[in-house]
Amino acid sequence: MSQAKSAEPRPYHHGDLRNALVDAARRLLEAEGPSALSLRAVAREAGVSPAAPYHHFKDKAELLDAVAHEGWHTLNTQMAQAKSEDGGALTGLGIAYVCFAHENPALYRVMYDAVREKEALPEDMQDNKDSAYCLVRDTLIEHGADPAAETHLELATIAAWCGAHGLAEMSGFKQFQHLKDELGGEREFLAAVLGHMGLFTK
Amino acid sequence: MSQAKSAEPRPYHHGDLRNALVDAARRLLEAEGPSALSLRAVAREAGVSPAAPYHHFKDKAELLDAVAHEGWHTLNTQMAQAKSEDGGALTGLGIAYVCFAHENPALYRVMYDAVREKEALPEDMQDNKDSAYCLVRDTLIEHGADPAAETHLELATIAAWCGAHGLAEMSGFKQFQHLKDELGGEREFLAAVLGHMGLFTK
DNA sequence: CAAGATATCTGTACAGCGCTTAGATGTGAA
DNA sequence: TTCACATCTAAGCGCTGTACAGATATCTTG
């Protein structure tokens, strides 16, 4: 494992240990998976003692929250990019969402583990202009949803998100491989399933 | 915690420890949540030594698999019941699915944790006549899907399942409370979101 | 019924975990 | 310069999953 970046004998005070810990956690997560992500391992990876993280995070959950926060941020920007590239079709957003989950499986899991613990939407997804949630809602409006029918709009956004999250967790199943082969690829499979959700038509 | 059922000093050989362990696990899961479900706690609850479970399960994951297996079985039967009671509407199945997840949150989580580990559908959900998967597929046929269009049918079933799973994980969010109030209840909220998924119309 | 093979369970131990506490070390303000 | 404060280390607690050797009960075979 990469032991931080430099070989010089780190000064007693790290300088920016908080960020270093979050980075180390992401590195470990990617390399070893979520089950290997112990606080102690993160501290080792960052080159500090096992107790050091407690001066920056209340407990392990709070460190994972910080990792998840970065994850939501990345997801938001990737979906915004997908929207601009794809001409703004809802299916494109759905595929971008699922692809993010596939490309960062461990991170995606940490993101939703945190969310399940709190039983609440992460702040990064709430009524923040840059959130993927709002991106989806705006896209629905562009495709004809009535912006005045707030409840309707909110329900539709939730439905789309539920479908995308479900697909993100399911589409990796081995049992679906034959469908991907049949349809000519992963993306085609995703688009087909999303298409069957109604909301994602077109 | 209830220390098994009887006060008599259990014979050296338990008789049916395997099932006793699975039951103990379910009891703990319900009472204390998934984070409290350690192998050692399960052994304590069943009144045996920490090493005893290893004669019946390869490791902790295999015990959780057994718990998950029971969970899938329960889910299948509850959905079959919902179908017979509800006149066979797809929305009823979706609501039954989500309600199961809400009534057994810890169990539902164990079920999907196992699934994520394996990246495969649980056996109990595959092409077994009693599976909820087949129940949904048959319901789609009853509502007009062409049984000969196998790919189409499979995609639609997957889409429905993805939507239901997503909703099961999302619908507990505090942020959606105002929608439940507005719509007159939890079930109405669920039905409304499912309705927006297209597949679940009627 | 005797005897040994086998299945099941216990006791003990190890390394790793999250977290706490006490004390060491560096930093910045008075 | 001094002292308060932020940051880090070292040591340790109780927990975990798991391995292994040995105890105990049951089953099989004679």
Contact B42, B25 (CB under 8 A): yes
Residues of chain A with CATH 1.10.357.10: 60-195
Q: Choose, out of B126, B196, B200, B202, the residue to mutate when testing the contact with A (most A CBs < 10 Å).
A: B196
Q: Choose, out of A193, A194, A199, the residue to mutate when testing the contact with B (most B CBs < 10 Å).
A: A193
B49 touches strand C (CB under 7 A): yes
Q: Do B119 and A162 touch (CB under 8 A)?
A: no
Residues of chain B with CATH 1.10.10: 1-57
- In order of A16, A18, A90, A168, the CA distances from A39 in angstroms are 17, 13, 39, 27
Q: Do A197 and B163 touch (CB under 8 A)?
A: yes
Q: What is the CATH number of domain A60-195?
A: 1.10.357.10
- Search chain A and give the residue with CA nearest B156: A196
Spacing of B12 CA from D30 C1' in Å: 27
B158 near A CB under 8 A: yes
- According to DSSP, residue A123 is labeled G
**Which bases along strand D come within 7 Å of a protein CB atom?**
6-12, 15-21, 24-26
**Subset of residues 29-48 in chain B with CB less than 7 angstroms from any atom in strand C:** 48
Q: What is the DSSP string of B159-187?
A: HHHHHHHHHHHHTT-GGGHHHHHHHTSHH
Contact A130, A80 (CB under 8 A): yes
pLDDT, one tens digit for every residue, chain A (202 residues) = 343 334 345 665 677 999 999 999 999 999 999 999 999 999 999 999 999 999 999 999 999 999 999 999 999 999 999 999 988 899 999 999 999 999 999 999 999 999 999 999 998 888 788 899 999 999 999 999 999 999 999 999 999 999 999 999 999 999 999 999 999 999 999 999 999 998 886 4
**pLDDT tens across B138-178, in order?**
999 999 999 999 999 999 999 999 999 999 999 999 999 99
**Which option is the CATH number for A1-57: 3.40.50.1100, 1.10.10.60, 1.10.10.10, 1.10.606.20?**
1.10.10.60
